[in-house]
């Protein structure tokens, strides 16, 4: 049986080749292994990538629950890196923006901005500010 890291590598390769169904399958195999091992942070990271691929294909009903599960795991673990949390809040905000849930999207973009600001990641701050301004103008 392949190790989770090998499935992730295969998933990255398939994703880079724009073969998202294969990429998701490889990531799902890795997620199963991480779940069985009880590695909740690796599991959260892996399902976030699966959610990102669904978001890329506008499969919003598939992406949403995966982001929610990843966020729940990240928020409940004291070992969570802020960058991992920010990088999960960000696409979840984008998802809600696309769904028209503007109040929730605004709150999530603000949360992501705060996380990126605490890490001094200017690119993340700028992206969040751009979305927050757009949402403000949309109201």
Alpha carbon of 113 to those of 57, 72, 87, 94, 123: distances in Å?
Answer: 25, 19, 10, 13, 10
Q: What's the whole-number mean pLDDT along residues 30-35?
A: 97
Q: What's the whole-number mean pLDDT along residues 17-29?
A: 97
70 and 108: one domain?
Answer: no
63 and 100: one domain?
Answer: no
Question: Which pTM does this prediction carry?
Answer: 0.94
Please tell me the predicted confidence (pLDDT) of residue 59.
97
Q: What's the whole-number mean pLDDT along residues 27-37?
A: 97
Name the domain count of the chain.
Answer: 2
Q: In the structure, what pLDDT confidence band is assigned to residue 138 with cuts at 50, 70 and 90?
A: confident
Q: What's the whole-number mean pLDDT along residues 8-30?
A: 97
Where among 80, 104, 122 does a domain terminate? 80
Where among 80, 96, 116 does a domain terminate? 80
Q: What is the extent of the structural domain holding 59?
A: 1-80
108 and 119: one domain?
Answer: yes
7 and 52: one domain?
Answer: yes
Please tell me the predicted confidence (pLDDT) of residue 39.
96
Per-residue pLDDT of 100-120, as tens digits, reads 999 999 999 999 999 999 999
Please tell me the predicted confidence (pLDDT) of residue 139.
67
128 and 91: one domain?
Answer: yes
88 and 66: one domain?
Answer: no
DSSP result, the chain? ---HHHHHHHHHHHHHTT-HHHHHHHHHHHHHHHHHHT-HHHHHHHHHHHHHHHHHTT-HHHHHHHHHHHHHHHHT-TT--HHHHHHHHHHHHHHHHHHT-HHHHHHHHHHHHHHHHHHT-HHHHHHHHHHHHHHHHH-
63 and 114: one domain?
Answer: no
2 and 70: one domain?
Answer: yes
Please state, for a pLDDT cut of 90, what percent of the chain lies above it: 97
């Amino acid at each position: 049986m392949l190790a989770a890291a090998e499935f992730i590598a295969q998933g990255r390769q398939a994703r880079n080749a724009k073969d998202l169904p294969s990429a998701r399958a490889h990531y799902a195999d890795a997620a199963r292994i991480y779940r069985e091992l009880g590695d909740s942070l690796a599991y959260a990271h892996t399902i976030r990538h699966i959610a990102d691929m669904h978001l890329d294909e506008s499969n919003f009903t598939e992406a949403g629950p995966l982001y929610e599960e990843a966020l729940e795991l990240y928020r409940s673990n004291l070992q969570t890196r802020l960058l991992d949390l920010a990088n999960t809040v960000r696409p979840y905000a984008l998802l809600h923006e696309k769904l028209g849930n503007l109040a929730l999207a605004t709150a999530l973009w603000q949360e992501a901005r705060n996380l990126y600001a605490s890490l001094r990641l200017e690119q993340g701050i700028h992206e969040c500010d751009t979305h927050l301004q757009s949402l403000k103008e949309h109201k």
